Structure 1
Amino acid sequence: MNTEAIATEHATRLSSVDPLLPHSDPLAGPDAAHEDFRVIIGDSGALGFAVRSEVDRNSGDSLWRALVEHRLLLRFAGPQPGECLAEILRQWDEYLTDTVRAGDWDAAAVVPRPSRDPAGSAELLRHGFAPVRVLAVRPADRLAAAGPPAEPGVRIRPAEPGDLATAVGLYAELQRYDAEFGSVTLRANATELLTAGMARELDRHEPTIWIAELYGRPLGLLQIQYPADTGWITPYVSAERVGYLSSLHVAEAARSSGVGSALAAHAHQLFDESGVDAVLLHHALANPTSTPFWYGQGYRPLWTYWHRRPAVLAHSERAAETNSLRKRLS
């Protein structure tokens, strides 16, 4: 089984399991592969491409990821994808051990997988990966499940420059909560980065940030991107006009009041008015509030990101993990 045959069968399988997956691979991207892996076992095969990306700690992107991500892009063919993946992961681990400082929390190993293609999930778990982050999709023609009735007194309005401190505070609260689930990184300069980013958005002619007030108190935040600004995420879905819901957060004092559902409905109305075919958003899979909320609003998983952080465990951690495994097997 050659490389072309593996790639062709992989693409055919994905198009059958999820019609919203793009026809071309968005993960191939412009980044050059650092290392290629190919495994053939019987009539099964797999390809792996190791890609490295890095962001500056003074970039806003640093708030939502490790500074360095080592990604493994996968292609499967045949009836034994798990066995093939096990060998590719072994080879990738050798490569990471030689190139990554052990125990570095700001170096993560990430394996993106189409959510409806579970091939190899058990092997990822055995190699210390966990499904941490999801890119979810809501097609424009999907009806959201009815949410709780909006509490009287909810008002949604475009954010103004005078709302900067409020917006930053709500956003920082969201980030602190999401940091509990592994993908967000709390950084010393977070307030500075959030303030600069929010100030730029509040200076736009067309509003992209909204504040939800409950009886006059600003307790909710919504931020979106229209199709003109979503070129970075559009390749991940089979749709032409894509909206991106950057963030939605409700302060603890207003939880279960209908503010969140009102903000989501407002976002979807804005996207519908702009002719969006599908809306995308990222969320932490383990978050016990956002995951059920978004799926109740008509979203469902499109891509799942499996993380191992640090990418290479420190020697003491690896030894403890090995001893624990030996005890379970004895």
Structure 2
Amino acid sequence: MKGFNTEMNAEAIATEHAARLSAADSLLPLSEPLDTFAEGPVFEVTKGDSGATGRATHTEVTPDISYSLWRALKEHRLSVRLAGSQSDELLGDLLVRWDEYLTSVAAPGDWDTAAVVVRPSRDTIGSAELLRHGFAPVRVLAVRPADRLAASGPPAEPGVRIRPAEAADHDTAVRLHTELLRYDAEFGGVSVRASATEILAAEVAGQIGRGNPTLWIAELYGRPLGLLQIQLPPESDWVSSYTRADRVGYLTTLSVAEQARSSGVGSALATHAHQLFDEAGAEAVLLHHALANPRSTPFWCSQGYRPLWTYWQRRPAVR
């Protein structure tokens, strides 16, 4: 790409960035538009044959809603487009300008304020710059294409039975949700709120008894020790913009009680989920997991998932 014309700069960056995504990963969306409806400054830097654009956005949630468990209450994001041979250096320039902006809008040292940059996992250019600015790869949005063969996992225990959750399973489901939340909190991507049990109890109550079950219990020799929660299209359409697949399912939660780990319960639940997604015609399944979790990452890899988007986070946003 030649030097950018000032009036065409943003368009040229967007065009090459789209080509960059397609080359990096065939499952990425055809374009990654900046959020033109969100309020926040736009930063643009160019150098020689390269250019970069970033839009800063800010969202806040209250600690009494479900979404607050999976993020900081105040989240600043930088959506970036990169083009040219010096993309890594220009991403560093964008981060410098964003940091200058953050110091004027975010309270230093506030743990419930996070700075987040979501990058295509296979477009690794600029990773060193993110590390230099104090970001860490905290979680991923992983994908499993419908035609991808999973590696064989541990054999299922003969005593495993999977069934839709019933009213009597409410407390067990809340407990398994809470165990997973507390474990994942060790890796920085989620937050254990004082209202967590109340939030999860309400969410479980809303899932039990649906005509098309989305919450499932795994029993091991009659004991309920595993939990699966999924979203089928169109309920999962909120995540479809992250991939090129037209029909997408989302695996919300898979949790196995500590005493049942390595028993095959988790693999049995994953197999059951994939069967449900296949029956619903999903072309791909997406899920979030903590990248540093020593159980989640190898488990989901063994089930045929791979990183699609990586969430780089710095928390607090301003130190």
Q: Is the 8 A contact 1:283 1:291 kept in 2?
A: yes
In the alignment, residue 23 of structure 1 is paired with which amino acid?
L
User: Quick one: distance in 1 between partners of 2:51 and 2:184?
Assistant: 37
Q: Deviations over 1:25-51 (max 9, x none)?
A: 26x346414011111122211111101
Query: By how many angstroms is 1:70 displaced?
Result: 0.4
Q: Which residue of 1 aligns with 2:13?
A: 6
CA deviation string 1:180-208 (max 9, x = no partner):
00011011010000001110111422110
Flag structure 2 segments of 5+ consecutive residues without an equivalent.
Answer: none
Conserved? CA contact 2:165–2:209, under 8 Å: no
What amino acid does structure 1 have at the position aligned with 2:161? R
Correspondences of 1:243-282 after superposition (within 5 Å): 243-282=249-288
- Pick one of 127, 135, 139 that aligns with 2:141: 135
Note if 1:100 corresponds to 2:106. Answer: yes
Q: 1:196 aligns with which of 202, 214, 218?
A: 202
**1:222 to 2:228 alignment:** yes
Note closer, same or farther for the CA distance 1:153–1:20 as it changes in structure 2 (3 Å cut): same
Q: 1:289 maps to what in 2?
A: 295
Query: Take 1:22 and 1:104, find their aligned partners in 2: how far apart are those partners?
Result: 34
- What is the DSSP-based 3-state SS (H/G/I as helix, E as strand, rest coil) of the residue aligned with 2:234? helix
Asked if the contact 1:156/1:213 (under 8 Å) is kept, the reply is yes
2: distance between equivalents of 1:83 and 1:23? 25
Please tell me whether residue 44 in structure 1 is matched to residue 60 in structure 2. no
- Who is 1:151 aligned against? 157
For 2:51 and 2:248, how far apart are their aligned partners in 1? Answer: 34
Tell me, in whole angstroms, the C-alpha distance in 1 between the residues paired with 2:209 and 2:303. 30
Distance 1:115 1:25 in 2: 14
Partner of 1:304: 310
Partner of 1:21: 28
Letter of the structure 2 residue corresponding to residue 238 of structure 1? R
Q: Are the aligned partners of 2:21 and 2:31 in contact in 1 as well (CA < 8 Å)? A: no
1: CA distance between counterparts of 2:209 and 2:165?
10
Query: 1:53 is paired with a residue of what secondary structure?
Result: strand
Hey, what does 1:207 align to over in structure 2? Answer: 213
- Is the CA contact 1:112–1:305 (under 8 Å) kept in the aligned structure 2? yes
Structure 2: which amino acid aligns with 1:5?
A: A
Name which of 65, 74, 91 aligns with 2:80.
Answer: 74
Give 1:83 shift. Answer: 1.2
Which residue does the alignment assign to 2:172? 166
Structure 2 equivalent of residue 65 of structure 1: 71
Q: With structure 1 as the length reference, what TM-score do the two structures score?
A: 0.93
Per-residue CA distance 1:75-122 (angstroms, 9 max, x = gap):
111111121111111110010000001111111000000001011100
Residue 90 of structure 1 is aligned with which of 86, 96, 101?
Answer: 96
Q: In structure 1, what is the equivalent of residue 189 of structure 2?
A: 183
Scaled by the length of structure 2, the TM-score of the pair is: 0.96
Structure 2 CA distance, aligned partners of 1:235 and 1:44? 27
Task: Name the counterpart of 1:112.
Answer: 118
Whole-angstrom distance in 1 between the partners of 2:172 and 2:37: 38
- Gaps spanning 5+ residues in structure 1: where? 314-330
Q: Is the 8 Å Cα contact of residues 56 and 79 (structure 2) preserved in structure 1?
A: yes
In 1, Cα distance between equivalents of 2:99 and 2:291: 25
Measure the CA separation in 1 of the matches of 2:32 and 2:59: 17
What RMSD in Å do the two structures reach over aligned CA positions?
1.0
Q: Distance in 2 between matches of 1:274 and 1:67?
A: 34
- Separation (CA, whole Å) in 1 of partners of 2:212 and 2:220: 24
Is the CA contact (8 Å cut-off) linking 1:168 and 1:194 kept in structure 2?
A: yes
Distance 1:58 1:295 in 2: 33
Output the amino acid matched with 2:95: L
> Are the counterparts in 2 of residues 156 and 210 from structure 1 also a CA contact under 8 Å?
yes
Q: Is the 8 A contact 1:136 1:283 kept in 2?
A: yes
CA separation of 1:34/1:269 partners in 2, compared to 1, >3 Å: closer, same or farther?
same
Distance 1:233 1:68 in 2: 21
